């Protein structure tokens, strides 16, 4: 695994729409997923990390949520609840800033795991918020574009 740094706001890769994974081979398992996991735990103060945040323009997300690790490949949001809530979010690519962002309270998503099993889950609360945040990264959207800057809430 390569040592990678989290790319910060201002880098053009964060504005690009990520490409889907088509090859579920060694490069995906050992490089993309391995580098995401290593970088996530080395930075250690978030819930999720998307491949563009480490310079890889692919639709891959790593989430560590209350001791459970999720590797989410080629995610698609199938359904969003009409009920939304505004909550504070931070981002490893925008250090030391928090934003108030409106998101759906519940989502249903479909994605693949590293061995190409198709998985569908319904989630709510913090996990739903995190997945929506990371999918925004895959679509080239940062929370600084979606939310209200709360500079005093560091």
Catalytic residue positions?
A: 134
Is residue 92 within 8 A of residue 49, CB to CB? The reply is yes
Burial class (CB in 10 A: 0-12, 13-18, 19+), 77: middle
Which of these, 99, 90, 21, 98, lies nearest to 61 by C-alpha position?
A: 21
d(CA 51, CA 59): 7
Quick check: helix, strand or coil at residue 41? Answer: helix
Is residue 59 within 8 A of residue 74, CB to CB? The reply is yes
């Amino acid at each position: 695994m390569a040592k990678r740094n989290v790319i910060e706001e201002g880098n053009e890769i964060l504005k690009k729409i990520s490409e889907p994974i088509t090859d579920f081979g060694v490069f995906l398992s050992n490089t993309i997923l391995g580098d995401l996991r290593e970088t996530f735990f080395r930075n250690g103060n978030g819930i999720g990390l998307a491949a563009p945040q480490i310079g890889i323009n692919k639709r891959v997300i790593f989430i560590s949520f209350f001791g459970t690790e999720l590797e989410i490949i080629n995610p698609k949001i199938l359904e969003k609840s009409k009920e939304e809530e505004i909550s504070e979010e931070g981002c490893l690519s925008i250090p030391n800033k928090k934003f108030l962002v409106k998101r759906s309270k519940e989502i249903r998503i479909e994605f693949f795991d590293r061995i190409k099993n198709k998985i569908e889950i319904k989630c709510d609360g913090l996990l739903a918020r995190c997945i929506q945040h990371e999918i925004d990264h895959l679509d080239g959207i940062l929370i600084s574009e979606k939310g209200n800057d709360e500079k005093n809430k560091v």
